[in-house]
Amino acid sequence: MEQELLEEYAGRIRPLDEEAMEKAWHHWDSLCKPLRGMGKLEEMLVQLAGIYGTAEPRPEKPMVVIMGADNGVVAEGVSQTGSEVTAQVLENMGDRISSVCVMAKTEGIEVIPVNIGMLTEGKHSRIRSRVVRYGTGNIAKEPAMTRQEALKGILVGIRTVEELYREGCRMIITGEMGIGNTTPSSAMASVLLSRDPAEMTGRGAGLSSEGLRHKIQVIEKAIEVNRPKREDILDVLSKVGSLDIAGMMGCYIGAAVWRIPALIDGFISAVAAYGAVRLVPACKPYMVPTHCSAEPAGKMMLDALGMEAVIYGGMHLGEGTGAVTAYSLYKYALALYYGLPGWNDGKVEAYEHLN
């Protein structure tokens, strides 16, 4: 049932509008400035044109979607804090006082906390309850979830985007909250990229050097115990992944279904983006890389996606904070795109593309 539904959604994804993108490039080149002088900001606007199907793109009502879930592997001591913090931060998001909420407020962006798999129900009325299961299994001893639960998690992400689209949202900014979630992220990255866990694992929200060594050992054990099949993304996700990653994978797929851009945040979001592309390749053109996480595998995941971040700021907080930071660049790009005069009005001789 879940597999068939996913395939139905995937079948609705269409390529970007090449004609709209060509017109957007033509408009950029008609403006009174050095050709392609704004680099990636110009590329970001052209991508929007292709996504929306118009050379006059406007990303109305962007929203940050936070997938919140707990991870059984926390029992192995891989994080500085306990799982109870996941629920508390989601409650703080309900009150609009978490890091991403404070940042998003400056841009007039709403943050949508989603409980996809915390150990408890969220109490705040703004938390959307979409629980697949209450916390994942301890991947050092057992699979994180069943294959069916992984599919359900992905569908939660797709349906969440559909809900927000119907509420007027035309841009998704992905984020996550889940104590211990850099452990399953690093485990997935290690398997999917065939790299040693030591290369792919960082300190997360803050571990000592000894804590980091232990975390690497736990990931090695998780891979040994579960033996995920690299070529099967759902097998990797269900055995050593997490529900927040499953939900974000669904967000990327859902964004492509409803033709809206999805901004990738940091390392964990990039793992989810890579997983979504492995599962539904057609969703990739709708993704926007934003910043390169300071986590060791942050750039590796972007490289695997064939993407380059626009910001290298050493950030690794999560919650979508890096992506919200990058969203501000759209405002400058839009201001130039719609506000700059043409060559004649600017009384400057037009530049030409040279070989």
Which residues are catalytically annotated? 319
Nearest of 318, 160, 177 to residue 251 by alpha carbon: 160
Q: How far apart are CA 111 and CA 129, in angstroms?
A: 15
Burial grade of 200 (CB within 10 A; 0-12, 13-18, 19 or more): buried
Question: In residues, how long is the chain?
Answer: 355
Burial grade of 95 (CB within 10 A; 0-12, 13-18, 19 or more): exposed
One-letter amino acid identity for 176?
A: E
One-letter amino acid identity for 94?
A: G
Nearest of 29, 18, 27, 42 to residue 350 by alpha carbon: 29
177 contacts 244 by C-beta, under 8 angstroms: yes
176 contacts 68 by C-beta, under 8 angstroms: yes
Task: Report the sign of the C-alpha dihedral through residues 262, 264, 269, 270, in that order.
Answer: positive
Chain centroid to Cα 215, Å, comes to: 23
Q: Which residues contact 225 (CB under 8 A, 6 or more apart)?
A: 139, 140, 141, 142
Q: How far apart are CA 136 and CA 142, in angstroms?
A: 10
Strand partners, 114: 67, 128
25 contacts 136 by C-beta, under 8 angstroms: no
Strands (E), the chain: 62-69, 110-117, 128-129, 171-177, 262-264, 287-289
